[in-house]
Amino acid sequence: MDDIALNFNQSSLIVMNVTLAFIMFGIALDLSFEKFKGVLKTPRKVIAGLIGQLILLPLLTYVLVVLLEPAPSLALGMFLVAACPGGNISNFISSLAKANVALSISLTSITSLLAVITTPLNFGFYGSLYEPTHLIMREISLDWLEVVRTICMIILVPIVLGLTIKTKFPKVALKMARPLEVVSMVLFMLIVLGALMSNLDQFMACIGGIFLYVLAHNATALITGYTMGSLVSKDFNDRKALAIETGIQNSGLGLLIIFAFFEGLGGMAIIAAWWGIWHMVSGFTLAYIWRKH
């Protein structure tokens, strides 16, 4: 598993960069001061969501890795997924689940903006703390400034641009927001499927070995979010939002970092790609159940 390198050429990497930037731009168009103002009236919900996603999830991922002892490249993939911000489809899934959508959008936006700091920090810390992955990190010799620059270009810049258009041309932003939400979800799925289809043989050979790791990891994320919601709110809609927000990670960003800086290290890429599929399965399943009840 650690010796597998997946294929992803330079043109595909550029397409992935542009697509992720487009997705973040779409998220920014759906932001509004009114939504933020309503959520910030009860800041404990936002704080609980940030603690769950940015502190507890990476920590519990480390505990999970120590207990399960996956191959080092798989462990490194788990650390990277846990260090990524909330995924763009979390807002759509929250809407389907009749959760607190404003809270979900706020958390996605905040964690995406903080990702410039938190993603390299959490990934670097836990990747170096665990001895088997520390060896890979040392061999790769990551240029952390380049990682930060990449995250800025595909997350920070598109969000600032989207917010600018939202502020200066609110009617245009309103018309664009909903179609872009659907387009963003489709683009995200195409990113993941493209990475898998171009390496289908390797993926099929490894899926049996990673399925349970992703299942356990994603369940840990969902339970962490729901538990944090239960600690700060009696409203079921808030709990649903925090569970979905913590359980849906921006694995597309993870894939981009893997192909750009880890030369498509197989275990990492397969974990991130399968997470990208599985969190949609678990997210939409929960949304269906919660919508019915």
Supply the CATH number for residue 145's domain: 1.20.1530.20
Q: Is residue 1 part of a domain?
A: no
What domain count does the chain have? 1
In the prediction, which pLDDT does 136 show?
82
For residue 87, pLDDT beyond 90: no
Asked whether residue 52 is domain-assigned, the answer is yes
Residue 223 lies in a domain: yes
pLDDT digits (tens, 9 = 90+) for 250-283: 888 888 888 778 876 667 888 888 888 888 889 9
Count of other CB atoms within 10 angstroms of residue 14: 10
Say what the pTM is: 0.84
Instruction: In whole angstroms, give the CA distance from residue 204 to residue 225.
Output: 31
Is 2 part of a structural domain of the chain? no
Helix axes 251-261, 72-83, angle to 10 degrees: 130
Mean pLDDT for 7-33 is 70
Q: What's the confidence (pLDDT) of residue 109?
A: 82
Question: Is residue 94 domain-resident?
Answer: yes
pLDDT for the residue 195: 64
Phi, psi of 265, deg, nearest 5: -50, 115
- Is 189 a domain residue? yes
| Domain boundaries, position 239 | 10-292
Pairwise CA distance, residues 180 & 175, whole Å? 9
Least confident of 5-9, 98-102, 179-183: 5-9
Task: Classify residue 128: in a domain, yes or no.
Answer: yes
What would the mean pLDDT of 194-216 be, rounded to a whole number?
75
Residue 5 falls inside a structural domain: no
- Give the tokens for residue 147: 């990682």
pLDDT reported for residue 222: 97
